[in-house]
Amino acid sequence: MQAIIVHAPHDLRIEELPTPTAQAGQLTVRIKAGGICGSDLHYYHHGGFGTVRIKEPMVLGHEVSGVVSACGAGVDDIAAGTRIAVSPSHPCGLCRYCQEGKQNHCLDMRFYGSAMRMPHVQGAFREEIVIERHQAHPVADHVSDGEAAMAEPLSVALHAVRRAGPLVGKRVLVTGCGPIGALVIIAARHAGASEIVATDIAPKALQTAAAVGADRVIDMAGTPDGLQDYAQGKGSFDVLFEVSGTERALRSALEAMRPGAVVVQVGLGGEISFPTNLLVAKELEWRGAFRFHEEFAMAVELMNRRLVDVKPLISASFPFTRAVEAFDVAGDRSSQMKVQLSF
Ligand code: ZN
């Protein structure tokens, strides 16, 4: 069985790994589709991000779907042949945060394709993988393999939206419309937002934001003062989802926020400063949103019940044997949203 393994920046190889066998309580899964995420691209281009660096060869990938090929002993509630989305979240279940229901803060988290710990947690861009039963979420027949692989980024978006609190009737601004930003638009609309305005600088991102339901999209490259009208009368928006991770986007957006507004920081941009004068004078609330846990089941349920449509985000798909080409294409924000691999 083959896997996509990163050895160093721009050294991505397709290599043979032993075929795994499911133990008690586990499932063997034949992977069908996998989405390339920003973190996969960071490992590919830079060998990591922040202080996280690849120290040994690592299989990439954490946004995958597949079909159950074998069940380990004691697993009798899911059958071989079941199509599933695979949750890459594998918390310990024992630490104090798991016990509090905050599994995304688990002290012993094993998240696929992550070099945060040593040995690294190997990822899911491989033909076969062994998972725990609880990581398998069956998908409906009408949900394609590619859509099922979107359950992971949709979970991130749902978690961000839940961090914002109730959105019914709220005016929402989303800065940064890559895959996560576009999914935040979908999730915010589903949660009852009355108006959603989205900003970006890439035409493809703006086009997708409109396609998934943003009421208005603003090209901040062409119209850098495009949010100025919303800054009148101390601001217009109740909630900001800052997904770009850039200080410039945050600053221009804050002027457009109403007093008491909630700012959910989803994008990671290293060190960015927050204008404390606005935080104080407008009594803003700045909240982080990190990964997800229970939202994975919600994401699959929303797709299974046709309550959300993630298809507009999938911009290209390559056979996994062309992984290098796929990774190069995925880095082009001007033409791509979510690039997927098929296995
Ligand atoms: Zn834990």
Please give the distance, rounded to the nearest whole angstrom, from the Cα atom of residue 62 to the centre of ligand 1.
19
* CB within 8 Å of 144: residues ≥ 6 apart: 33, 311
pLDDT digits (tens, 9 = 90+) for 218-257: 999 999 999 999 999 999 999 999 999 999 999 999 999 9
CB-CB contact of 340 with 35 (8 Å): yes
pLDDT at 271: 82
Give the distance (Å) from ligand 1 centre to CA of residue 104: 8
Q: Are 199 and 249 a contacting pair, CB within 8 Å?
A: yes
Q: How far is the CA of 48 from the centre of ligand 1 (A)?
A: 24
Burial category of 312 from C-beta neighbours within 10 Å (exposed 0-12, middle 13-18, buried 19 and up):
middle
* Domain extent listing, the chain: 2-150+310-342, 156-288
Distance 110 CA to ligand 1 centre (A): 9
CATH of 156-288, one of 3.40.50.720, 3.30.200.20, 2.60.40.1180, 3.50.50.60: 3.40.50.720
- Specify the pLDDT at position 29: 98
Q: How far is the CA of 328 from the centre of ligand 1 (A)?
A: 35
Give the pTM: 0.96
- Cα(234) to ligand 1 centroid in Å equals 43
Q: How would you class 20 by CB atoms within 10 Å of its CB: exposed for 0-12, middle for 13-18, buried for 19 or more?
A: middle
277-298 pLDDT, tens per residue?
Answer: 999 999 999 999 999 999 999 9
Alpha-carbon distance values, 149 to 34, 39, 271, 311, 338 (Å): 6, 16, 31, 11, 10
- Minimal CA–CA distance to 182: which of 154, 144, 159, 143? 154
Rounded Cα gap, residues 39 and 249, in angstroms: 21
Question: What's the gap in Å between 95 CA and the centre of ligand 1?
Answer: 4
Where does 2-150+310-342 sit in CATH, by number?
Answer: 3.90.180.10
Helix (H, G, I), strand (E, B) or coil at 227: coil
Whether residue 207 has pLDDT greater than 80? yes
What is the 91 CA–ligand 1 centroid distance (Å)? Answer: 5
DSSP 54: -
What per-residue confidence (pLDDT) applies to 51?
Answer: 85
> What does the alpha-carbon distance between residue 159 and residue 102 come to, in Å, rounded to a whole number?
12
pLDDT of residue 50: 80
pLDDT digits (tens, 9 = 90+) for 56-98: 999 999 999 999 999 999 999 999 999 999 999 889 999 999 9
Backbone angles phi, psi at 241, to 5 degrees: -105, 110
